[in-house]
Structures are given as structure tokens and as C-alpha cells.
Amino acid sequence: MMSTNKNNLSREEQALRDKINEADFAYQEADWNAIESEVSGGSWAKYKTLFKTAAAFVVLSGAVYFLNEEMKTDSSQNTDNVTATEKTEKKEQSVTVEKQEEKAATTKKESKVQPSSSIEYSKEESIDKGEIAESSEKTAPPKNEEFIEDKLPAEIEETEKSTSENEVENINFDINIEGKLCLGEELRLSAQNNNGQTNSSTLIYRWFINNKRIIQSNAEFNYIFDDAGEYQISLKVRNESGQIVSESSKQINLDKAEEIDFTYEDLSGLFTDFTAQLKPNPAHLEYQWFIEGKEIQLDENNQYDFRQKGIYSLALVYKNESGCVSEIEKPLQIEDDFGPFQNVINPESETDKNRVFMPHGFENHKGFFELTIFDLSGSVVFKSNSPLKKWDGSLNNSGQKLPEGNYVWTINVANEKGQKRNITDRVKLLYLK
């Protein structure tokens, strides 16, 4: 909207008025009177108004002319100013576009070099390097959450500061490792200086495993490795200024415990009825055997006599050269497999079956043998020192009949190896034809 002055005149009207006020008329009132005296009365009255109108028109025309020239000058100056402004803005826009195109080209080139971590942006976007870095940190997941970049705190320079021994006191920290170097075992890692001390509030500790820094930054901590193999553990200690005061490393070999197992066989012979043969796997290793928590020793055939039937908790333990322990525990059941099944004697039988009594399984026994038969009152009614000497049902095989009923017998045997066994059972005496 065009601005107006306090008299509500437009800009053009005000300029015209100023020009008219500035005009200097060449003819004064005396001049008009002289003209009037030279012209006859009738003629002057006739043309007086016409002359005044013509003079006013001339003055007004001159004012309009100068006004137009002044407005053209102002317009020309405004046009020049606008043109110069437009040229400047176009030049700045051109420079901005060129910079954006150059930056976009650089970004595109970098994205071709590193396609896995690059982020593409359009030419119109203005990207701050800090924003790109922050975006990359938020979107790119760490390869291993346990390992982080080796960065100092914000108040210390990220670049390691190297100084001479005269400038920095060398504290000489060593790496101490406590625990078994076995897979699955928890190790205690600590930094110890010359005096055996481990911690200082003014020092910064950086731990590395195979040149990768781990999250732990204390002077000591517990750590469990996930895999067996060789590892290099390194430590860098910095002071408050970020200067390295100690560097050390240690090589370790993490061993893996053997996978072990065992089976067993419950034997049923005269002297092996309560014996089990144990079969570990692998067979070539040296093991420890435990029954109910108590260590036992096997014979040369990996056999053990449990002496009576029952269910036992059997554990197998192996320790390798690195001290890694393998252990497995299973229940083991021992049955009473050896059984002299004859439990009846009938001296008056018409057949040879059951006419005499001798428990089965001792026919081929060589070594100590003793059979004793008691009545229910505990009196001895028969004794034999050989499996070939059998009981005929009478008192000491004298022919004196004994009453029908149940009798208790017991056998004590031993072999050449010194193994002994005692067997007790019952037999029933009958007289049937």
C-alpha cells in the first residue's frame, strides 16, 4: 500500500505541491498593471484571464516536468538497487548450491568406499559431521558387547601422550592371574605394582584380550572365557593426565576339560556276585573312583567288590595336566545274582533228585570250603569241608533221622587270591515217597 503524509496527499501530489511552491514567477503585479495600461480597456478585460491562465499552465508544466525527472531518477536508483541485490542473492545461491553439490559428491564417494556403515543424504540436506557420527553410533550395533573402543574420558585427550621417563614415573604394573586355566573356570585378573598393591584412585586401567579392549576398567575383576585356546592379556595404566605410566602383557593357554563317561557290568560268579566291572571312557586315562563320596581302588581288571547287593552312587573324576577337572556321577545297582537254588531235601525220594543236599555253584571250587547246617535251635546237625561231601538229611550223615522242618545252612569259601565269601540260606527237610 502507498504511504500517505499527514494531509492525506499521495507521494506524487505532495511532490507537485512542493515544486509549485518553489516556482519563482517572473511577472509581478506591477508587470500585470503595465500590460493592462498599454492595452485598451476593453481588450485587456477580455484577455486578462487568458494570460493569467496561460502563465499558470507554463509554471505547472515546468513543475510536472521536473517532478517526472526526479521520479525517473528515484526509479532508476531503486531499479539499480534491486538488480544489485538480486545479483548478490543469485551469486550466493549459486555458491551454496555448488558447496552442497560438492559435499553431496564427497558423501557419495565415501559411501562407495564404506557401504556397510555409510548414510546417504540428499543434496538439499545440510549435514553436520557431529550429527553423522552420533547417528552412526546409535544405529550401528557393536560387534561384541564385551569389547569397546579404547577411549579416554572426555576431559583427557584421546591421543595417547608419550613422555620420557624423566617426565612420568614408571610404576611397573604386572598382571596377576588366579584360578585354573580351564574353560568354564572363573579367573581373577588383577594389576599389581612393585609393592604388590593393586589399586589407586588416581590411575586409569585399560584391559585388553587379544588386543581388544574389554568393558572392565578396574584394577581387579573376575572373568570367564567362552572358548579354549591361547589368549594375550594386556594392561595399560594411565595417570590423571592421560599419560601411560605402565604397559604389560601376559600369554595364557586356556585348556578344556576332557569329556568322560563310564558303564559297568554286574557280575554273577561265586566270588563276583557283588562285584561290578567298571568301564570308563576314554579307557587310557588315570581316574579316581568314589562310592558315596569315599575314594576306592579297583583291581587290575577294573573290578570292585561291593560285598552286598544294593544301589550305590558312583562318581568318576579325571584331572588333566592343567588342573582341569572332569567329573561324572551315576547310580549303580548290584544284584544278588549267585543263587544255590536247591532248598528242599527228601531222603526217601524214589529218584536221585533232592535225595541229598549241596547248594549249586560250588562243584568246581578249589580252595577253602566249609558247609554247616543248623536246626532252628542253633545246634549243628552237619558239617562238610568239600563240595563233594553232601548232606543226606540225617544227623552228621549217621543215619539218625532228624525231624521234618526248616534248617539253616551257611557256606564259607575262599580262593587262591584270598577272596572270601559267606553265604546263608534255608533248606526244608521232607520225607515223601
Q: Is pLDDT larger for residue 47 or for residue 13?
A: 13
Q: Give the residue-averaged pLDDT of 286-290.
A: 96
Instruction: Encode pLDDT of 163-209 as tens digits.
Output: 444 444 567 889 999 999 999 899 999 998 866 555 566 889 999 99
Does residue 352 sit in the same domain as residue 299?
no
Would residue 139 count as lying in a domain? Answer: no
> Which of residues 222, 238, 254 is at a domain's end?
254
Q: What is the mean pLDDT of residues 43-52?
A: 54
pLDDT band at 57 (very low <50, low <70, confident <90, very high): low
- Provide the pLDDT for residue 113: 37
DSSP 8-state assignment for residue 418: -
- The mean per-residue pLDDT over the stretch 322-351 comes to 87
Mean of the per-residue pLDDT values of the chain: 74
Last residue of a domain, one of 60, 92, 124: 92
* Cβ contacts of 248 within 8 Å, gap of 6 or more: 172, 173, 174, 175, 234, 235
* Domain CATH for 180: 2.60.40.10
**Do residues 427 and 343 lie in contact, with contact meaning Cβ atoms separated by under 8 Å?**
yes
Provide the whole-model pTM.
0.48
Residue numbers of the domain that contains 288: 261-334
Domain-located, residue 142: no
- Does residue 145 form part of some domain? no
pLDDT at residue 253 tops 80: yes
Last residue in a domain, options 92, 121, 150: 92
For residues 289 and 357, is the Cβ–Cβ distance under 8 A?
A: no
420, 354: one domain: yes
Claim to verify: residue 324 and residue 358 sit in the same structural domain:
no
Q: Do 294 and 348 have their domain in common? A: no
* DSSP code per residue over 212-254: EEBS--SSEEEEE-SS-EEEEEEEEEE-TTSBEEEEEEEEEEE
Residue with more model confidence, 271 or 398: 398
User: Is residue 98 included in any domain, yes or no?
Assistant: no
Query: Phi/psi of residue 397, each to 5°?
Result: 60, 35
Q: What's the structural domain count of the chain?
A: 4
277 within some domain: yes
pLDDT of residue 357: 93
pLDDT band at 342 (very low <50, low <70, confident <90, very high): confident
> 72 lies in a domain?
yes
pLDDT value at residue 61: 59
The grid coordinates listed for 192 are: 599389581
pLDDT at 214 over 70: yes
**314 belongs to a structural domain:** yes
Do 422 and 372 share a structural domain? yes
Q: What is the CATH number of the domain that holds 399?
A: 2.60.40
355 and 328, same structural domain?
A: no
Give the span between the Cα atoms of 307 and 304, in whole angstroms: 9
Helix (H) or strand (E) holding 382: strand 380-384
Q: How large is the average pLDDT for residues 104-131?
A: 38
* Per-residue model confidence (pLDDT) at position 270: 80
- Does 5 fall in a domain? no
pLDDT at residue 328 above 90? yes
